Amino acid sequence: MTEVSSRSLAYRPELDGLRALAVLAVIFYHFEIPPFRGGFIGVDIFFVISGFLISGILRQQIEGGTFSFVQFYVRRFRRLIPASIALIAVTSLLALALFSPEMLANHGKLAVMSAFSLANRELYFASGYFDPSAATKPLLHMWSLSVEEQFYFVWPAFMLLCLRFLGKRVTPWLIAAVSLVSLVFCVMFTERIPQAAFYLTPYRMFEFGFGALLLWLPLSLEHRFGQITGLLGLIGLLVMACVLSDVSSFPGWNAVWVALLSASLIHGSRAGVVHRLLSHPAAVSLGVLSYSLYLTHWPVYVFYRFIVERDLGVADQALLLGLTAASALALYRWVERPFRLGRRDHKDSTRRPARLYPVAALYALVIGVGAVALTTDGLPNRARVNGVVPPTSDALSAAQSRFCKGRDPQPLVTCATSQDRAGSVYVWGDSHARHLAPGLAEALADQNVKIIYSSACVPLWGVSELPYARSRTSRRECASHNMETLKFLEGLPPAPVIIAARWKNYLTTPELRRVGLQGLKDVTQRLERSGHPVTVIGNVIEPGPEVIDCLRSPDTLITPRARCQPFSSPVQASLEANVALQPLGAAFFDPTPVFCTPECQVAIGKTMLFRDGHHLTDEGSLRLAGALVRAAPLSLTVQGRSTGR
């Protein structure tokens, strides 16, 4: 690594060809075009390319004494920002016209974060890249641009420090050290906190570093082994793009292999058949357009799926490719190219600030739409379903405050409906226990209803590896929470206990069903041995987020309200979960008849029963709790006295 090559930074068309390969892999993956189930690795290829090119530019300028932070960031700004902010602005206007309030509020926040290169941090806290809800976010793909821009914020200073003060012989070893640390943490966190490893820049730095290290490889290696490394890299990347899938562990070791193969391909891209393929005029033309293609393809997909609401066929895929090509050409022709090239004098953009006015206006538009969407909970008055206005987050918070009036010295109790009533009813579970609070507060008005709730934590005993959790750490925390809750309840005088959860998410396979049901049976038996009557509430029938978002969306010519068909039958997974729960031995309440008589209802008159795809509104909670109390199972009775009125 101490032998240094003097690589030219002249234009290399084969790198544009590699960009074409990367962007096509991503597009084919998102458009569900076989066999590229793992085409998301195209983003990792882009990271390695950027590490190679940016480090090469910085090294040449720093060693030549011509480096300027201002000029570097002006060039990066002109290359990336005008096109991206234009894309964000257009998607924000479309979201304003089409999206439900909840979707618009989420989009507004992500749009503002994307405009300031922080989309990856927002998505880390919001959802996983492979989650079903990700398909409703037109700016989901901006996470990778945020990672790249954050790399640009720190790398010039790092390279300047290394090359100017530590020397060019030490620099590659420091880059290797940074890359190794990043790689180790990426592999570790892929297992423990996968969303952090996927979205956050420190866990992706090794990919940029692998590209940078190519600059210090001797040219003699390229001359001797370039054809081999190029072919290995190309074939390996194509195989991984076809073999990996949404369920693969990623990034982790798979991303390490992708980065190594990408570096291998770059190393051999100037030799033999690989060079001829990547420097073909068609590949180069696609590569030149790759940034605009990447920016436009995902919003095109999201809005198309939002409008047509069907699985993609071949005709849909062809239309999506055409729409993406047209929108990318427009973005490149009228935004990306004029701002990136301008006049040949790179100082032109700084001497003519008027060129920045359109960009400033687009920033103002994005921030304005985002601020309005967030402060109004998505402008709910745009969307009415037969006069129905969906509840806002403020209304939901106010409802929680109304019903959670009491306090409990036990920190496990997250909500108590009263403080001065002698009788207590305990409700234990995940968010499906929490949404019972409004209904039980009224249906059991003479009792103090105490909610013990932990998000995405099913109330089971002795089970710590059920899959519906962000990470293994979350699962361990859930198991600990369940242990504390069970011991707390066992130490209380006899009192009714209601157990509720989104069961279908935890009982997804025969093995999980066997383990999960045994864990629930252990819980109910231990509580009943302690004198607590137990009622298990089955899975609420779920309309799904598509129906709710459709009903809340503005009624437009391209998204007519007539397409929002109420779901006519319950979700099969919910029914199967409820059937599995009934033989446990504890009293069981099936909520299906509450909402399906026989057609399942999302709203009654002007009142929504669901606030999202599976959580109840206050009215939905009241209907469920009222039916539960009217059924008067023995498990709501202690010493012959019913807890209900």
**pLDDT tens digits, one per residue of 180-238:** 999 999 999 998 899 999 999 999 999 999 999 999 999 888 889 989 999 999 999 99
182 CA to centre of own chain: 22
Residue 472 is inside which H or E element, if any? Answer: helix 472-490
Is residue 392's pLDDT more than 60? no
Contacts of 273 (CB under 8 A, 6+ apart): 227, 230, 231
Is residue 498's pLDDT more than 70? yes
| Cα-Cα-Cα-Cα dihedral sign, residues 190, 195, 196, 200 | positive
Task: Write the CA distances from 94 to 97, 99, 368, 558, integer angstroms.
Answer: 5, 8, 14, 12
| Structure confidence at residue 421 (pLDDT) | 64
Nearest to 525 by CA among 619, 615, 460: 460
By percentage, how much of the chain surpasses pLDDT 70? 85
Task: Write the CA distances from 575 to 76, 237, 446, 583, integer angstroms.
Answer: 54, 42, 33, 14
Contact 455, 430 (CB under 8 A): yes
The class that CATH gives domain 393-542+570-594+618-638 is alpha beta
Contact 559, 107 (CB under 8 A): no
Any alpha helices (H) in 193-336, and if so which ranges? Answer: 194-199, 205-213, 219-243, 252-267, 272-278, 281-288, 290-308, 314-331
| Structure confidence at residue 478 (pLDDT) | 87
Is residue 4's pLDDT more than 60? no
Is residue 399's pLDDT more than 60? no
Mean pLDDT rounded to a whole number for the chain: 86
440 CA to centre of own chain: 33
- C-alpha 22/C-alpha 43 separation (Å) is 7
Q: What are the percentages of helix, strand and coil residues in the chain, rounded to 5?
A: 65, 5, 30
Residue 142 is inside which H or E element, if any? Answer: helix 142-161
Contact 590, 538 (CB under 8 A): yes
| Structure confidence at residue 104 (pLDDT) | 92
Model confidence, pTM: 0.76
Contact 408, 416 (CB under 8 A): yes
E strand segments, 346-455? 415-416, 424-429, 448-453
| Structure confidence at residue 343 (pLDDT) | 55
Report the half-sphere exposure of 251 (CA within 13 A, side-chain side).
Answer: 32
Domain parsing of the chain, residue ranges: 13-381, 393-542+570-594+618-638
Burial of 220 (0-12, 13-18, 19+ CB in 10 A): exposed
Contact 328, 292 (CB under 8 A): yes
